[in-house]
Chain A
Amino acid sequence: MALAEAKQTATEARLSGLGLPEGGCLKAARQAALSRVQTMGLPSRRDEYWKYTRPDTLVQAEAPKAALFEADEAPMFDAFERLNIVFVDGVFDQEASDDLALEGLSIDRLEDICCKDIHWAKDLYGVLEARGQTPVERPLAALNTAFASDGVAIRVTGKVSKPINFTYVHSDENSDAILHHVIRVESGAEVTILENGPAASRFNKCMEIDVADGGKLHLVRAQGRDHKRRAATHLFARLGTESVFKSFTLTVNGVLTRNEAVIELTGDDAVAHIAGACVGDGDFHHDDTVFITHDAVNCESRQVFKKVLRNGATGVFQGKILVKEGAQKTDGYQISQSLLLDDDSQFLAKPELEIYADDVACSHGSTSGAIDEEGLFYLRSRGVPLAEATDLMTLAFLAEAVEEIEDPEIAADIVSRLEGWLARRR
């Protein structure tokens, strides 16, 4: 079907400002992705999948200007022993980054995939993204595959001693970054990946993760606190037999964030946990869109999303569990909750189930409401001031999502930062 005229025009306008990178061996993948974008067209507000989030500023040719944020604290995860990889406005910064060598894994830049003849990465690049285009189209991800200007390929072959940390620095008010990472966790290998920072005024990031049988990957990310930044991220993961994938995302601030996670459980007994906590204040729009496909027996998936919203902030959750025919003994769980701290904020949710197997247990719940008056009263009757009591209740509300983080030290760091931010915002 031909695209609607407005969509066609918007898509062409965006594409005209971009040049296909000299792809080397990725050229074919990039070309294919470009034609996917051209066929689908970039998202518009009339698309059902963008019902609750306006994609205009993510699609328009020029990235909207975003003021830089003066952080008054040490960057996240700085205190941890880690291998740090730094991108400034979407460009790899070798000076600031650690040496990319570590036992149990190999890290290469996207541009080196071809000259070093890294077959696995070449075979993964754009593949999961393309698979993730059905049944729902994700044109911004295809745009990313076609035009990603930088990124890394990580291959994990053993148990890695310390986390790999991506630090995304925002230094230019007009920056528009497109990054694409491919990660392969080999059989029995295990790694923790951390991400933090706003990256750019407008950030389009795509991560393709392939976890082989028995592999484990933990992902914890904190999206930078710049008020005016915009981000559209995609996470595509394919999980093999008995593999484990757990991800947690913390979002505080940002005028627009759309995080899509597309997870496919293709091997029996695989486990996927996707969690998110967000605290939105004022001009803040946050969208978690999750699509989990169960295509094997006895797999488990959990989605836990908590949103605290005030001063006109908007929280969106679109989650879906698809259980394919034959994916028996599936255990699917999905919860999305919002805490509206005042009357101006809103929560929009679409928690979906699509089930084609009879011996499964899937549940989804979604709630929205104000802070529990009884809880507040209890705390105040014990002498806790209102503001502090509200913060305590807010932290308790977010706890279920934070508990999804496997590493207690990382979880503790996130909790302490949340405490600080809540306290300062009174």
Chain B
Amino acid sequence: MAALDQTQVKEGVDQETVDAVREVGGAYKYGWETDIEMEYAPKGVNPDIVRLISEKNEEPEWMTEWRLQAFERWEQMDEPNWAMVSYPEIDFQDQYYYARPKSMEVKPKSLDEVDPKLLATYEKLGIPLKEQMILAGVEGAGETPEEGRKVAVDAVFDSVSVGTTFQKELKEAGVIFCSISEAIREHPELVKKYLGSVVPVSDNFYATLNSAVFSDGSFVYVPPGVRCPMELSTYFRINAENTGQFERTLIIADKGSYVSYLEGCTAPQRDTAQLHAAVVEIIIEEDAEVKYSTVQNWYPGDENGKGGIYNFVTKRADCRGDRSKVMWTQVETGSAVTWKYPSCILRGEESQGEFYSIAIANNMQQADTGTKMVHLGKNTKSRIVSKGISAGKAQNTYRGLVSMHPKAKNSRNYTQCDSLLIGDKCGAHTVPYIEVKNNSSRVEHEATTSKVDDDQLFYCRQRGMDEEEAVALVVNGFCKDVLQALPMEFAMEAQQLVAISLEGSVG
């Protein structure tokens, strides 16, 4: 963080913001390593490795075939190079595609049987895997005040899921929450129906690779009319060296259901970069709602850009039913390179997509992130709020697409993306694509904080505030709006981030 300490900050940028960014991007707290005996598949990727992964997960034949087909497609694809990120060429044959702790060779039947070392790892990360434990600091919030809030966790360690908590309680509510490998075995009809239906096998280079070699991940099915009784979460931990993590998440919210899902991720501090290529698919039926929140805190590499995670992720939600709703909230502070565009396909009439993002890039980090809002149904609505902050020598890019199809009559989009530069060696970029193909829809894209709502300003000024105070209030209120979209479990991160204001932003 030395770089940021010496940075001359231009006038107008809030000192509190600089401190908060420094705090967030400070010494990486999760850089330690768990010393545990691992079992690896041979280095590299080929049909044999794909078969091996499938075999390790005890998958049925159709799944193996699905993977092999994906691999065949992947071999014909080229790595995308359009993002504003640069990194040394990745040798896809020089890493492990499967690594699991030896102690996981025989699947533990319950959490009590899980290797204590693994449990301790998650404990240290602040992720309690024991069901009686309740997250500290959030007591009394939510719908179950007397017990505090419960969060069911699926913990993924390198290539395997270590365990999933609260499975029994969730089962009583009819919710299926388990690792994807378990789902493939136990609920093949659901997996067959939905896997690859939102992100097709050959969607893009990394998604295709993921389809071939994904080792584990989470599966959620919320039946019709069920409001998931607790928040669900997956915690991804990369531990092994030279190992890529390829997880797959599939969330299905059936008619009229609701689920809030959290995702966290960390990795040890190492000199060599590591690959993480995940795919998240969400299917939302009629009147259902899914809230997906991520605090991405992969190891970002050191000040000189050594090491760190290459985070190439495909996330997409398909609002299939009428009045369905999805909300993506992401706080991106980690990874050396981020390539990630959580998207919404608004197919159902009156469906809604929301995307809230705060991306903080420091030192040599590069983030190319944003969203796609594809409006297909009538009266669909979307909202994008993206805030990018660059410090040190980092590059932060917002890349987004808003597309109004001819049939998406009376639809509405509002996009706001702000960028803040701290120091003169970093960069902030905005690459929005706007495609409007009917005239009853309104699309607005704005990228400046100085354009605060006039009415709100007027209101504040009328009550005796000076202009600056009024703007600060409105802008900060707005920023808090985004952070409030984060579930309580991320309260700590959110609190730090609230200190960030976008005053003095460049556009």
Q: Which residues of A contact B15 (CB under 8 A)?
A: none
Q: Taking the complex as formed, is B484 at the interface, i.e. its CB lies under 8 A from any CB of chain A?
A: no
Choice from A48, A350, A358, A361 contacting B434 with Cβ under 8 Å: A350
* Residue from the list A328, A352, A356, A367 in contact with B442, Cβ < 8 A: A367
A350: contacting residue among B421, B426, B431, B446, CB under 8 A:
B431
Q: How far is the CB of B373 from the nearest CB of chain A, in Å? A: 14
Asked if B432 and A351 sit within 8 Å, CB to CB, the answer is yes
**A369 touching B422, Cβ below 8 Å:** no
Given known contacts A350-B433, A352-B429, A353-B430, A362 and B507 CB-to-CB distance under 8 angstroms? yes
Question: Which residue in chain B gives the minimum CB-CB distance to A318?
Answer: B433
B436 touches A355 (CB 8 A): no
Q: Measured between C-beta atoms, what is the minimum distance from A298 to chain B in Å?
A: 14
Given A338-B436, A347-B434, A369-B439, the answer on whether A358 and B429 have CB atoms closer than 8 Å is: no
Interface string of A328-371 (1 = CB under 8 A from B): 10001000001011110111111111111111111111111110
Shortest CB–CB separation between residue B83 and chain A, in angstroms?
Answer: 12
Q: Could you tell me the distance in whole angstroms from the C-beta of B85 to the nearest C-beta in chain A?
A: 13
**B196-204, B329-337, B447-455: which lies at the A interface?**
B447-455
In the bound complex, residues from chain A placing their C-beta under 8 Å from that of B437 are 346
Contacts A352-B430, A354-B427 given; indicate if A364 touches B439 (C-beta within 8 A): no
The distance from the CB of A343 to the nearest CB of chain B, in whole angstroms, is: 5
Question: Number of residue pairs across A and B with beta carbons under 8 Å?
Answer: 128
A358-B423, A361-B507, A367-B444 known; A353+B434 contact, CB < 8 A: no
CA–CA, A368 and B414, complex, Å: 11
Q: Is the CB of A343 within 8 A of B431?
A: no
A21 at the interface (CB under 8 A from B): no
B3 in contact (CB, < 8 A)? no
B10 at the interface (CB under 8 A from A): yes
User: Which residues of chain A come closer than 8 Å to B438, judged between CB atoms?
Assistant: 340, 343, 346
Whether B436 and A368, one on each chain, are in contact in the complex, defined by CB atoms closer than 8 angstroms, is yes
- Distance, CA A210 to CA B271, complexed state (A): 49
A325 at interface, CB cutoff 8 A:
yes
Tell me, yes or no, whether B428 is within 8 Å of chain A by CB. Answer: yes
Evaluate contact between B436 and A351: CB separation under 8 angstroms.
no
A368 to B413, CA, bound (A): 10
Kindly report which residue of chain A lies nearest to residue B448, judged by CB atoms: A363
Does A408 interact with chain B (Cβ within 8 Å)?
Answer: no
- On whether the beta carbons of B444 and A355 are closer than 8 Å, the reply is no
Is A326 engaged at the interface, CB distance under 8 Å to the other chain? yes
B442 close to A353 (CB less than 8 A): no
Contact code string B335-347 (vs A, CB < 8 Å = 1, else 0): 0000000000000
Near B by CB (< 8 A), chain A positions 154-206 give none
B428 pairs with A355, CB closer than 8 A = yes
Contact B439 A349 (CB under 8 A): no
Q: Are A358 and B439 in contact (CB under 8 A)?
A: no
A367→B402 CA distance, assembly (Å): 11
Tally of chain B residues near chain A (CB < 8 A) = 39
Q: Does B506 contact A (CB under 8 A)?
A: yes
- Could you tell me the distance in whole angstroms from the C-beta of B39 to the nearest C-beta in chain A? 42
Q: Are B424 and A363 in contact (CB under 8 A)?
A: no
B424 touches A357 (CB 8 A): yes
CA gap between A174 and B274 in the complex, in Å: 59
Whole-angstrom CA separation of A345 from B82 in the bound complex? 29
C-alpha gap A332/B507 in the complex (Å): 9
Name the residue of chain A whose CB is nearest to the CB of B8.
Answer: A358
User: Complex Cα distance A363/B505, Å?
Assistant: 10
Chain A residue nearest in CB terms to B410: A370
Q: B439 near A345 (CB under 8 angstroms)?
A: yes
**Residue in B423, B428, B440 whose beta carbon sits within 8 Å of that of A370 in the complex:** B440
Known: A359-B10, A369-B439. A364 touches B430 (CB 8 A): yes
Contact between A358 and B435 (Cβ–Cβ < 8 Å)?
Answer: no
Question: Any chain A CB within 8 A of the CB of B382?
Answer: no
Give the contacting residue for B432; candidates A332, A350, A354, A359; CB below 8 A. A350
How distant is the Cα of A341 from the Cα of B429 in the complex, in angstroms? Answer: 32
CA distance A342 to B438 in the complex (A): 7
A368 touching B428 in the complex, CB below 8 Å, given contacts A332-B507, A353-B447:
no
Contact A341 B424 (CB under 8 A): no
- Which residues of the partner chain A approach B351 to less than 8 Å between Cβ atoms? none
Interface residues of B in 482-507 (CB under 8 A from A): 506-507
> Shortest Cβ distance from A373 into chain B, in angstroms?
11
Q: How far is the CA of A345 from the CA of B441 in the complex (A)?
A: 12
Is the pair A353, B429 in contact by a Cβ cutoff of 8 Å? yes
Residue on B with the closest CB to A370?
A: B439
Q: How far is the CA of A346 from the CA of B428 in the complex (A)?
A: 29
Tell whether B419 is near chain A: CB-to-CB under 8 Å: yes
Q: For residue B422, which residue of chain A has the nearest CB?
A: A358
Which residues from A are CB-within-8-Å of B447?
353, 363-365
A352 to B421, CA, bound (A): 17
Contact present for B429 and A369 (CB under 8 Å): no
- Interface pair A369/B441, CB less than 8 Å apart: yes
Residues of chain A within 8 A of B443, CB atoms compared: 366-369
* Bound CA span A370–B437, Å: 11
B interface vs A, CB < 8 Å?
10-11, 82, 84, 406, 409, 419, 421-448, 450-451, 506-507
Known: A342-B439, A355-B419, A364-B445. 7 other contacts (CB 8 A): A338-B436, A350-B432, A352-B429, A352-B430, A356-B424, A363-B451, A366-B444
Task: Give chain A's interface residues, CB within 8 Å of chain B.
Answer: 48, 323, 325-326, 328, 332, 338, 340-343, 345-370
- Ordered by A's residue number, 24 sampled pairs between the chains whose C-beta atoms are within 8 Å are A323-B506, A325-B424, A338-B436, A340-B439, A343-B439, A343-B440, A346-B435, A346-B437, A347-B436, A351-B430, A351-B432, A355-B428, A355-B507, A357-B424, A358-B10, A360-B506, A361-B448, A361-B450, A362-B506, A363-B451, A364-B507, A365-B447, A369-B443, A370-B439
